Amino acid sequence: MSFSKHIENRNDYQTPALLDYIRKAFSSEDARHQTLLDEMQTHGLPAIQIGASEGKILQFLIKSCQAKKAVEIGTLGGYSALWIADALPKDGKLYTMEIDPDTAAGTKKTLKEVGLSDKVSIVIGDANETLETIEPFGPFDFCFIDADKISYPNYLLWAERNLCPGGIVAADNAYLFGQVHLNPDMAGADAVAISAMQSFIKILTDPSRFSISAMIPTGEGLAVGIRGRQPKVE
Ligand SMILES: C[S@@+](CC[C@H](N)C(=O)[O-])C[C@H]1O[C@@H](n2cnc3c(N)ncnc32)[C@H](O)[C@@H]1O
């Protein structure tokens, strides 16, 4: 085993206590984050939002490409939307897509409560259909994918077409809950999702589409890519 492989493979430093220390050091939340989390609980939404550390990574990416216009696919209770919106400039805008009308209605109210109703617009419906409706507001600088996994390739192709050159795409759950490396033919009911995530990774790692891509090894895998200067001609 090579030395570098050995280093890359070790994650035994990442104890819960260490991760908690890192989260507190880098990713301070304020009362608004707690408001969103409390409202999610009140409305019975599942606690499947990103963590604060991922929120801070999204902010790092947004600032590094000086993003002004952002898209999020998968709103839930607006927790990641808050992290994204905070990293945009005062006149920045986030369009966040949510399929469930009740979830969207509750989150719209909560985002108003935390002062984000102007900066964040929730678009209700299946993002596979509604993304097209925001295209006139593009091109966009940043796109965060965090919704149904089987649509990840479709969302990524949309991002490729609608991001500015140099714009950044980030996608959560890219490890597909520990299954992304499995052979879909042997995976039974999970085959479709595994194939989809493998297609997503194939597109993201194609340098003719995204000039650079990487997997940030968060707990769930945060896949990132920078849209190349020239869109791929099919
Ligand atoms: C993992 S949660 C998003 C969490 C959120 N990004 C956060 O970290 O706070 C996924 C959300 O995507 C929504 N969703 C699932 N399929 C969708 C689709 N096809 N179009 C739009 N939203 C979808 C779900 O209803 C759910 O609210």
Asked if 220 contacts 176 with a C-beta cutoff of 8 angstroms, the reply is: no
Residue 9 C-beta-side C-alpha neighbours within 13 Å: 6
Give 97-149 pLDDT, tens digit per residue: 999 999 999 999 999 999 999 999 999 999 999 999 999 999 999 999 999 99
Q: Is the pLDDT of residue 184 over 60?
A: yes
pLDDT of residue 233: 53
pLDDT of residue 74: 98
* CA–CA distance, 61 with 84 (Å, rounded to integer): 10
Cβ of 80 closer than 6 Å to ligand 1, yes or no, is yes
- 49 or 234: which leads in pLDDT: 49
Closest ligand 1 atom number to CA of residue 55? 8
Cβ of 151 closer than 6 Å to ligand 1, yes or no, is yes
pLDDT of residue 108: 97
Give the residue-averaged pLDDT of 188-204: 95
Q: Is the pLDDT of residue 1 over 50?
A: no
Cβ of 97 closer than 6 Å to ligand 1, yes or no, is yes
pTM confidence score: 0.94
Q: Is the pLDDT of residue 95 over 50?
A: yes
The residue whose C-alpha atom lies closest to atom 12 belonging to ligand 1 is 74
Cβ of 148 closer than 6 Å to ligand 1, yes or no, is yes
Cβ of 140 closer than 6 Å to ligand 1, yes or no, is no
66-103 in b/e form (b: 16+ CB < 10 A) is ebebbbbbbbbbbbbbbbbbbbbeeebbbbbbbbeeeb
Asked if 145 contacts 170 with a C-beta cutoff of 8 angstroms, the reply is: yes
**Distance from residue 202's CA to the centre of ligand 1 (Å):** 23
- In order, the DSSP letters of 33-96 are HHHHHHHHHHTT--S-SPPHHHHHHHHHHHHHTT--EEEEE--TTSHHHHHHHHHS-TT-EEEE
pLDDT of residue 140: 98
Q: Which of 11-25, 75-89, 123-137, 160-174 has the lowest mean pLDDT?
A: 11-25
Cβ of 162 closer than 6 Å to ligand 1, yes or no, is no
Give the residue-averaged pLDDT of 28-51: 95
**Distance from residue 148's CA to the centre of ligand 1 (Å):** 7
Q: Is the pLDDT of residue 90 over 50?
A: yes
DSSP H helices, the chain, are: 3-9, 16-26, 31-42, 52-64, 79-87, 101-113, 127-134, 152-162, 191-204
Q: Spell out the domains of the chain, with CATH numbers in brackets.
A: 17-227 (3.40.50.150)
Q: Is the pLDDT of residue 56 over 60?
A: yes
